[in-house]
Every structure is written in structure tokens, then in C-alpha cells.
Amino acid sequence: MVVGVIALAMKGGGESGGSSAVADPVIPAVSEADIIAAAAQLGPRDQELVDIGETGVSIIRAGGARKYVALTFDDGPGPDTPAVLAELKRLNVPATFFVVGHAVAENPGALRQVVADGHEIGVHTWTHPDLTALPGRAQRSEIENTAGEILAASGVASRLFRAPYGAVDPDVLKRAEDAKLLSVLWNVDTMDWTRPSAGQIVETVLSNAVPGSIILMHDGGGDRTATVQALPRIVTGLRARGYEFATVGDLVISDPPGSDDMSSKSRSTQK
């Protein structure tokens, strides 16, 4: 299945609707062999990141020794991704985007812009299913095809995974580990997929963030106008309290999670 995914990713550039005015970064074509090699080879930082998790667990936050948090965005790239990227650039904030494979295939240029802006990419499956309801072969396809699409579109080998709906079980976690991915959930859920106001999103973050928090938001899957509007107030509010921002990878490497910061259970039923 990976070969078909690569062919789709590389066909015609896949730009849709002028999602970004910035020139599309030039990324070399990636073959199936390249994807297999990239999945097998771990650089020093990759190895450190993958080794952080214990077998059969997901990270829900960093250790809390440093006053840093990670903003994460799920379900993209979508129509609101350029606006999210613009706000993050203006605010000088790095973030982590857990992307859906079919959305990347439809708009690889958006993913390339995420990477060009210095953000981190994670795997969020191909079709956003509840993986716990799928057989093992389908779980593997959802995860590995998305990882391959990310590499084909951007030249980046992702090392992070987030299960849709936060739904994990031992089989799902084993599939992620087999793909050399660290499973990442969250400890602050903005519930922005339920369409709260920007003020409600801001209040949820400011009331619940602690050192090491991984904060869940969305840039795809629906209208994310309120999330975009909330971002400046979230960043300003947290900085006023002494917080800074990091990608998930940098956060957990610099402030490793302890056993209380990991979980073997599903986190919630987020969108």
C-alpha cells in the first residue's frame, strides 16, 4: 500500500486552493526504499525520543521540571492550517502537528509549509478511525501509510504518533512501537472540536496548564476559527505566567516524563 500512497503524494504537487502565499519548498522525491530505510534508521535524537516511552504506554505530559508547554494541533492539514501557521509565526511559537494521511495527500504543500516554519510533525493515521476497533493489519496500514506520506511529502521522518480520539490499547501501542513511533496523548484538552468560543478555549488552557503540559487543539476536521482567535491570548497569558513553548519532541527530551506522566489507557473521546 505504501507504493500507492507515494504515487498519490508526488502526483502534480497536490496544491489546493492557494492555501499559502509562500513559495512551496522544494522536496526531493522519496522512494519506497527511502521510506523503509528512514523507518529503520534512527538518528541520535530520534533514538532518544523513541526510547523515552516505556513499552505499552503513551506520554501525556513531560516531567514538569521546566516551565515549558507544548501546543499540539490535530486532524490537519485543513483550511484553517495557514491561519494557525501565521499566528504561530507572528507569536514566535513552535508547535507539533499530528496530521491525517489523506489530508496530507490532498494538500502536501500545507505540510511542507508546516515543516518549513520549523514545526514538528506526528502521525495521526490515514482516515482518523478508532484504531482499537480495527484488526492489526488495518492498524498497521493506517499508521505506516501516514508515516510514509509524511516522508514523501516533506522529507521528514516523523517519530511521534497520536491515536484518533485518544483511543489506545496494547495492540495499538505495539503497532506504534513497531513503527518506531512514540505515542503522545495530552493532559490539557481544549475541546475545541465542540466549537466553544475563543474565550472558553483560552480559559481551559490557562486554568489547566502546568509545567510540562501537552495541550490539545485542532487545525483540521472542521471550522477552527475560534482556535485561531484563541492562540494569541493563550500565548500571551501563558508567557505572563512565566511559561515558554517547545515542540513535543524538544519538551520531552529536555524534561523527560516519569511514570506518572505516562498512561497505558485511552485518554478521552476527543474528535
CA angle (90 as vertex; 89, 95 as ends), nearest 5: 40
* Residues of the chain by 3-state class (helix, strand, coil), percent to 5: 45, 15, 40
Grid cell 484563541 — which residue?
230
Angle between helix axes 198-208 and 225-240 (nearest 10 degrees) is: 40
Q: How far apart (Å, rounded) are the C-alpha atoms in residues 139 and 219? A: 24
Residue 167 has φ and ψ, to the nearest 5°, of -90, 110
Q: How far apart, in Å, are the Cα atoms of 184 and each of 37, 70, 191, 192, 221?
A: 23, 11, 17, 18, 19
Active site positions, annotated: 74, 218
